[in-house]
Amino acid sequence: MTAAPEAGLVGGSSNDPTSGGAISAHSHAGQAVSVRFATDGEISRWDELILQNPDEGTVYRGRANIDAMELQGAAPVYLIVDGCAVTAFKVGVPLVGALWVLFGPPVRDVRELISSARAVAAFAARQGEITAVRVRTQLKANPDDAEMLRAEGLVRVPTWLDDSTVIVDLTGSQQDVWARFKKRARKSIRRAEREGVVVDRVAATDDNCRVLYEMLDATSGGRFKIPGLASTTAVFQRYESTGHGQLFLARHCGEVVVGAFVAMLGTTALYLGAGSVRKLPGDPTLCGLGDSRAAYALQWDIMGWAREHGCARYDLDGTPSSATIGDPAHPRHGVGQFKTAFSDEITDYLGAYQIAVHPRRAWLLRQLEICAQRIDSSPQLNRVRRRPVRPNPDHVWLHRKFTQSHRRGS
């Protein structure tokens, strides 16, 4: 689940198309890239516009997720970049100003990304208080593209989205989907059936949301950030009210042992949030599902629901990268092994990049962010704090190579 920054760090936004005026910048091919705020009419049919984009959009760009982020204190910014709808959020940061964080733009290659990022940065500069713009596209990871971005002055940064995932192909018959699983997934689903695991599709009532949240909170154990109970409940209920979300609870021997919430946009379903019982109270590192294989049964039922709703893809939302999937020391190694049982292919995205609007403030922002994240992932400090957090080798933005662009001031 995407957790927004604390409300106290978030600034306001404007979606008046006349505010700041439209702006154009030239692409690598010499063509102008236009940027403006969306009109009220465009915002009213935002999901429709998102699905018309070249990359078909994602759940995170849709109105239900925007509303969910607002509930957590984020401020949405609706942009039209070169004719495409782009979902963004404005984030205020003490001392250094504000950021625009874009879930997009829906570009086709890295050259388009550079041109669009520059155009958005120029537009943001006219708004008066934006320090930097961050872009997170659906472009796949490519070392040459990453090098070009650095050469053009963009720097690698973290974002709210995972940069590697497993996407399950739901096309064809149910048997076709089943046949594409690894043997261990098929065996585990059959084992769950023998164990009497039952998966229920339940309403997102306050009580059911609390059941899932308590497992999610126990699974987190401080290892990753999640919204509070009230925000989580509101998010689930918002998705459910649109008809684009479903809460699942799986029981073994009559007790709820694992649950998940799944959202959808267009033909893509997203594993939005999940949790399971723990083996030992207070220890998030040890799963308490035992030999029931309930988590596999849960996923199989989720895929059935997604297919019933016309989805062709199921995004399991977050794994180690393809380069680190085999590393047993990776803090998400177990997650990766579980998810790749349903599809062998890991999708690695190019990741998020920052372009400076005010270079000195943008540089200061990155240094503060890097310092805070290095402290947070320090094995020595986490032992003192008794936090079961290990360094993540996929957090490449903490590596010196990625913290600087080839141009100064980014």
The dotted CATH code for 164-347 is: 3.40.630.30
- Residue ranges of E strands in 266-312: 268-276, 278-280, 283-287
Q: Do 7-162+350-403 and 164-347 have matching folds? A: yes
What are the tokens at 116? 């669009």
Residue 394's pLDDT is what?
64
Instruction: Give the long-range contacts of residues 211-215, CB within 8 A, separation 24 or more.
Output: 211/249, 211/256, 211/259, 212/236, 212/247, 212/249, 212/259, 212/260, 212/261, 212/273, 212/274, 212/275, 213/275, 214/275, 215/256, 215/258, 215/259, 215/274, 215/275, 215/276, 215/277
Residue 77's pLDDT is what?
97
| 255 DSSP β-pair partners | 252
The dotted CATH code for 7-162+350-403 is: 3.40.630.30
* Reported pTM: 0.87
Residue 370's pLDDT is what?
82
How many Cβ atoms are within 10 Å of 203's Cβ, its own excluded?
Answer: 12
Ranges of each domain in the chain: 7-162+350-403, 164-347
What are the tokens at 319? 């794994």
pLDDT in tens, the chain (410 residues): 665 543 222 223 334 433 456 665 555 555 689 999 999 999 999 999 999 999 878 999 999 999 888 887 889 999 999 999 999 999 988 888 999 999 999 999 999 999 999 999 999 999 988 999 999 999 999 999 999 999 999 999 987 889 999 999 999 999 999 999 999 999 999 999 999 999 999 999 999 999 999 999 888 766 677 888 998 999 999 999 999 999 999 999 999 999 999 999 999 999 999 999 888 676 666 687 888 999 999 999 999 999 999 999 999 999 999 999 999 988 888 899 999 999 999 999 999 999 999 999 999 988 888 887 777 667 777 666 666 666 666 666 666 555 455 454 45
What are the tokens at 175? 């048997």
User: Beta strand pairing status for 313-315 and 268-276?
Assistant: parallel
Q: Are 118 and 70 within 8 A, CB to CB?
A: no
Residue 151's pLDDT is what?
96
Start-to-end CA span in the chain (Å): 29
Q: Three-state SS for 406?
A: coil
Running DSSP on this structure, what letter comes out for residue 392?
-
In terms of C-beta density within 10 A (0-12 exposed, 13-18 middle, 19 or more buried), how is residue 329 classed?
A: exposed
Residue range 296-353, pLDDT digits in tens: 999 999 999 999 999 999 999 999 999 999 999 888 888 999 999 999 999 999 999 9
